Every structure is written in C-alpha cells, then in structure tokens.
Amino acid sequence: MNTITFTKTAAPDWLLAMWKEIDEKTFGKGMDCFAEDAVCNLGVADWHGREAIRENMRAFIDTGFTAHHDVIEYWDSPTLKVFHGKVGMTFNDPGKKPVRPTMCHFFYMDPKDPTKVIRWIGAVGPTGF
C-alpha cells in the first residue's frame, strides 16, 4: 500500500497551457508537458507517445465540436496530479445542444523528469443519457 499526501491548489501553468492548446485546436507547445514516451488512456483511447497523443487528440477534437475546459479543483502531489473540471462542448451541428460534462483526470509524473507527464488517465461525461 502507498500513501500520498495531496494539496489542493491552483492548476499549474503546464496544465492550463495543455487545455488551451486543445480548446484553441492548436496542439502546439502546451502539449509538450508529456514525456516523449507518455501513455494516454481517455475512455477507450490507448495512445502511446507524445506525438500520438497530440495527433489523436487533434483528430478527436476535429470531429465536429469546440471544447472549453474549466478548472473546478486541482490536487497536487509530487508524483500524481488530479484534475476535476467541466468541459463545455459546442457542436458544429446547430441541431445539437451544447453540453458541459464533468471530467476527472489523473496525471502521473515521469520519475526521470518530474516536470513531464508519463501517463494520463481521464474520463469525461457522459455527454447525455
């Protein structure tokens, strides 16, 4: 068993920069928070490597909606970061109403470089019932 102490704090710049890249559909430098060999598991996604995360996230966001991520709470520890927020999703199809599902993400930091995320596990939604 492991015990980790968390501190509730403001979301760090690296996380806000990552969400900004996604929200603005630019997928640039803010995505560099991931280690080169990072793994991302969002729902059924299983993406390996920073560039795969960047490109698959771009492909997902380009499926017909614009996102806006909002921080509700952020919990920090040296090795694991926990993010809880809401994501506003506005669809290109005017027949679809915007939604704002809850999301929760776990960011495991790379022991070789604790400034980089080595594993990202997250869940969003559901977006409707």
What would the pLDDT profile of 97-115 be if each residue is shown by its tens digit?
999 999 999 999 999 999 9
Residues 115 and 103: their CA atoms lie apart, in Å, by 23
Please give the pLDDT value at position 47.
98
Please give the pLDDT value at position 123.
96
Is residue 128 over pLDDT 80? Answer: no
Identify the sign of the CA torsion 65, 46, 122, 38.
negative
What would the pLDDT profile of 66-99 be if each residue is shown by its tens digit?
999 999 999 999 999 999 999 999 999 999 999 9
Please give the pLDDT value at position 68.
97
Q: Quote the percentage of the chain above a pLDDT of 90.
A: 92
Q: Mind giving me the DSSP string for 53-114?
A: HHHHHHHHHTTTEEEEEEEEEEEE-SSEEEEEEEEEEEESSTTSPPB--EEEEEEEEETTEE
- In sequence order, which residues have a C-beta less than 8 Å from that of residue 28 and are 6 or more positions away? 21
User: What are the backbone angles phi and psi of residue 103, rounded to the nearest 5°?
Assistant: -140, 155
pTM: 0.94
Q: Is residue 116 part of a domain?
A: yes
- Strand partners of residue 91: 65
Q: Is residue 84 part of a domain?
A: yes
Q: Is residue 91 part of a domain?
A: yes
Q: Is residue 28 part of a domain?
A: no
Token pair listed for 47: 């993406």
Q: Is residue 26 part of a domain?
A: no
Is residue 4 over pLDDT 90? Answer: yes
Q: Is residue 41 part of a domain?
A: yes
Total tally of structural domains belonging to the chain: 1
Give the residue numbers spanning the domain of 50: 8-21+33-124
Output the domain CATH number for residue 81. 3.10.450.50
Q: Is residue 46 part of a domain?
A: yes
